[in-house]
Structure 1
Amino acid sequence: MTDTTIINVLGRRVWDSRGRPTVEVDVRLKCGAFGRAIAPAGASMGSGEAVDLRDGGEAFGGLNVGRAVAAVNEEIGPALVGMDADLQEEVDRAMITLDGTGNRGRLGGNAIVATSMAVLQARAAAEKVPLWQYLAAGRDVRLPLPEIQIFGGGAHAARRVDIQDFMIMCPAAGSFAEALDWTAEVYRTAGLLMKKRGSLQGVADEGGYWPAFRSNEEVLEALVKSIEMAGFKPGDEVGISLDVAASEFGKAGVYTLALGNTSYDTDEWISILGQWLDDYPILSVEDPLGEDDRQGFQTFTRLYGGRCQIIGDDYLVTNAARVSEAAKDKAVTAVLIKPNQAGTITEAFQALAAAREQGLGTIVSARSGESEDVIISHLSTGWDAGQLKVGSFSRSERMAKWNECLRIEEALGSRARFAGRDGLAFAPWDREES
């Protein structure tokens, strides 16, 4: 029998896609298996998510992770040595208990999640199979429907536009590879369109174009035009997905847009979003309301959940209890799953399982501060999440994850199935229900 006892845990400082320090952890098992993982970092964050431990001070703008690395090497590692990597939940619970805070603030969410993911990677390596296959455990799984940014805004692009992510989805594609083919053409034509207009000004944190627009509607119009220029039918073959990230500009039911410097109450803001749904081929909307606007989420989902997917991110922070409550409230139709937001692999899976039990869709997601780590490609496939959100179609930390899914699809061969349109989650109830 393979001995999956943890014999060594090593943390180190590495660098993320924004050139900021982050935590990498190596885990070695008695059988010789090895796992490695890197903690990502968000820019737009929900108030209830696990927090990173940073050093403060002047070096690297206060973002150094010396304390988090020390936590891995001096506390977490010694506590885990001798534990069985086969018991992921027990390993994760031990770290949560050792930390002793509600938000992972003592040892650091970055230290804990990197260790949690590395233990999982080591356990799969002990079976001598890819992580997606270990997680699938013999069950049929699907390649996820990708959600890919074309234009970046919000906290990822110096708030040049209010909406954080303007993305596309290709539900009519016949395979994951074809979905990337279509995306590549839309991304390319969007760049050509911006260049022709003289408004191409680099890329945002997640690799999407960072042009100067006069309004949020102008971005939507440019995205539709890019889809058409690439030779696809907007809405039929290629649709739009928005990450509104409304908590970034909405508090206590007041939504203030930088473009136009105009404020709206919840009902007025919902009306604007509803007009966008009427005017543009939008298939999915993430965090349309602020995380503190529970009633707004309920109203928006009641009105529009039958025609587009409505995702909770900052609102739910990959928390199983919040997911179950939101399902009871009929406040969302899908849930974003971010391991570092939850704090551990176990908690991320619990949130996904809670969503699945309630009939909600699930989207495994990257963060704006990413790395070469491709674990979410395996999580989205092995957990059969149905959707994957990584960022744009440029920058190696993004492309590494898309490319890994291509390898997984190739490895599955004739057994490969693409989630496509079935990956989307619309409300099963009558949207006119009060």
Structure 2
Amino acid sequence: MTAIVKVIGREVMDSRGNPTVEADVVLASGVIGRACAPSGASTGSREALELRDHDDSRYLGKGVLNAVANVNGAIAERVVGMDAAKQREIDDAMIALDGTDNKAKLGANAMLAVSLAAARAHADDQQMPLYQHIANLHGNTEPLTLPVPMMNILNGGEHADNNVDIQEFMIQPVSATSFSEALRMGAEIFHHLKKVLIAEGMNTAVGDEGGFAPNLPSNEAALAVIAKAVANAGYQLGDDITLALDCAASEFFRDGQYDLAGEGRAFHSEGFADYLGGLCDAYPIASIEDGMDESDWDGWAYLTKTLGSRCQLVGDDLFVTTTNILNRGIEEGVGNSILIKFNQIGTLSETLDAIGMAQKA
């Protein structure tokens, strides 16, 4: 009864007000699995292709009617009759149908919406939580726990219209004994941060991901106001709360230099790695995402050598959830962590492949 009998695609709006692809996968049992394809504000150049219409008369060219047509046409024709329980076969069929290295024909957004909708349909048919179904697909038999949340409370870079170069400043409530406690701690610090910014005469408008987006004299100044908010909330920085950064360094890497326009200075690779090291010396930073440009492998190697024993060095734009790129990073000792985003690769099965490779490294 888990045979796919119908696939329906449509254009819907995402949380940023941009169109995206939503797909329904209907099973013979009557169960309907539904999923939408996500997308990011700052993206790696090697990500699978997100198919947009480029018709300036609709949604500033960001419409996805062509991708939706692929869902309702070629993809539906191929996967109807397949078994939703066989995720790998469904994903492999779409990959073969597309026939390109980067999902350029059908669009990663079209393929991913169907891939995730099929997973949801099977999970619902089996009356199983989706996370458990995905764990089963991955062969995970370990007890499942919620992670420590990383809460993005101050935005810069591509996520804000301000002068802060680093894209995300996050807090991690590491002393919390439950997710609900961690959520409460994060919310309290967020509201105390607003009070700190008001007291210092700063803007409390929020950025693209909901963090505050004030103008600040430096990236270190952003860490300083967060540290003050943590203390005002009654928590100990380093014991209760650690910090994390998403530099999104590719966004300010220009002509071989890391151009911190907000601070009026620029660095070559080793200098910027040392700059980040200085921030780690001053504050308990447990994780740095995309601390170097996605193509600066020498810079990444130096960053890993100097900071890899002290904190997570997360490859997002660097690895783009792609196994052949991740394998190079593992072999060359570049980075020590990976950010997983299934929109970067386009199917659930390929996403699980990247997770498995990282776990075995």
TM-score of the superposition, structure 2-length normalised? 0.96
Given that 1:251 and 1:290 are in contact with CA atoms closer than 8 Å, whether structure 2 keeps it comes out as: no
Give me the whole-angstrom Cα distance separating, in 1, the residues matched to 2:119 and 2:30: 14
Helix, strand or coil at the partner of 2:149? strand
Give me the whole-angstrom Cα distance separating, in 2, the residues matched to 1:194 and 1:251: 31
Q: What residue is the counterpart of 1:199 in the other structure?
A: 202
Q: What residue is the counterpart of 1:116 in the other structure?
A: 115
Given that 2:313 and 2:337 are in contact with CA atoms closer than 8 Å, whether structure 1 keeps it comes out as: yes
Helix, strand or coil at the partner of 2:203? coil
What are the within-5 Å matches in structure 2 for residues 279-428 of structure 1? Answer: 279-358=282-361
Runs of 5+ unmatched residues, structure 1: 359-434
Give me the whole-angstrom Cα distance separating, in 2, the residues matched to 1:195 and 1:103: 46
**Which digits, 9 at most, give the CA deviation of each residue in 1:145-197, with x for residues without a partner?**
11110101111113531101000111221111111111011111011111222
Give the superposition deviation at 1:258. Answer: 1.5
Amino acid in the other structure paired with 1:48? R
Give me the whole-angstrom Cα distance separating, in 1, the residues matched to 2:324 and 2:101: 14
Give me the whole-angstrom Cα distance separating, in 1, the residues matched to 2:276 and 2:147: 27
Tell me which of 170, 179, 183 is aligned to 2:182.
179
Give me the whole-angstrom Cα distance separating, in 2, the residues matched to 1:269 and 1:202: 29
Given that 1:127 and 1:134 are in contact with CA atoms closer than 8 Å, whether structure 2 keeps it comes out as: no
Give me the whole-angstrom Cα distance separating, in 1, the residues matched to 2:129 and 2:222: 39
Given that 1:112 and 1:343 are in contact with CA atoms closer than 8 Å, whether structure 2 keeps it comes out as: yes
Q: What residue is the counterpart of 1:83 in the other structure?
A: 82
Give me the whole-angstrom Cα distance separating, in 2, the residues matched to 1:333 and 1:229: 33
Q: What residue is the counterpart of 1:135 in the other structure?
A: 134
Amino acid in the other structure paired with 2:272? W
Give the superposition deviation at 1:140. Answer: 1.2
Give the superposition deviation at 1:142. Answer: 1.4
Structure 1 segments, 4+ long, off by >2 Å, are: 133-139
Q: What residue is the counterpart of 2:13 in the other structure?
A: 15
Helix, strand or coil at the partner of 1:84? coil
**Which digits, 9 at most, give the CA deviation of each residue in 1:11-67, with x for residues without a partner?**
011101111111110001112222100111111111111121111122211001111
Give me the whole-angstrom Cα distance separating, in 1, the residues matched to 2:21 and 2:2: 23
Give me the whole-angstrom Cα distance separating, in 2, the residues matched to 1:14 and 1:170: 34
Give the superposition deviation at 1:323. Answer: 1.7
Helix, strand or coil at the partner of 1:337? coil
Give me the whole-angstrom Cα distance separating, in 2, the residues matched to 1:198 and 1:103: 47
Q: What residue is the counterpart of 2:4 in the other structure?
A: 6
Q: What residue is the counterpart of 2:102 in the other structure?
A: 103
Comparing both chains, which one has the higher relative contact order based on Cα–Cα distances under 8 Å and sequence gaps of 6 or more? 1
**Which digits, 9 at most, give the CA deviation of each residue in 1:83-135, with x for residues without a partner?**
11111111111111111221112211111111111011011111111112223
Helix, strand or coil at the partner of 2:150? strand
Give me the whole-angstrom Cα distance separating, in 1, the residues matched to 2:331 and 2:162: 34
Given that 1:252 and 1:292 are in contact with CA atoms closer than 8 Å, whether structure 2 keeps it comes out as: no
Give the superposition deviation at 1:251. Answer: 4.5
For the aligned residue pairs, the C-alpha RMSD in angstroms reads: 1.3
Q: What residue is the counterpart of 2:230 in the other structure?
A: 227
Helix, strand or coil at the partner of 2:151? strand
Helix, strand or coil at the partner of 2:81? coil
Q: What residue is the counterpart of 1:31 in the other structure?
A: 29
Give me the whole-angstrom Cα distance separating, in 2, the residues matched to 1:136 and 1:32: 24
Q: What residue is the counterpart of 1:71 in the other structure?
A: 70
Given that 2:162 and 2:213 are in contact with CA atoms closer than 8 Å, whether structure 1 keeps it comes out as: no
Amino acid in the other structure paired with 2:134? L
Amino acid in the other structure paired with 1:33? V
Amino acid in the other structure paired with 1:157? A
- Number of residue pairs aligned between Structure 1 and Structure 2: 356
Give me the whole-angstrom Cα distance separating, in 1, the residues matched to 2:294 and 2:133: 35
Q: What residue is the counterpart of 2:51 in the other structure?
A: 53
Given that 1:186 and 1:226 are in contact with CA atoms closer than 8 Å, whether structure 2 keeps it comes out as: yes
Helix, strand or coil at the partner of 2:103? coil
Given that 2:162 and 2:214 are in contact with CA atoms closer than 8 Å, whether structure 1 keeps it comes out as: no
Give the superposition deviation at 1:300. Answer: 1.0
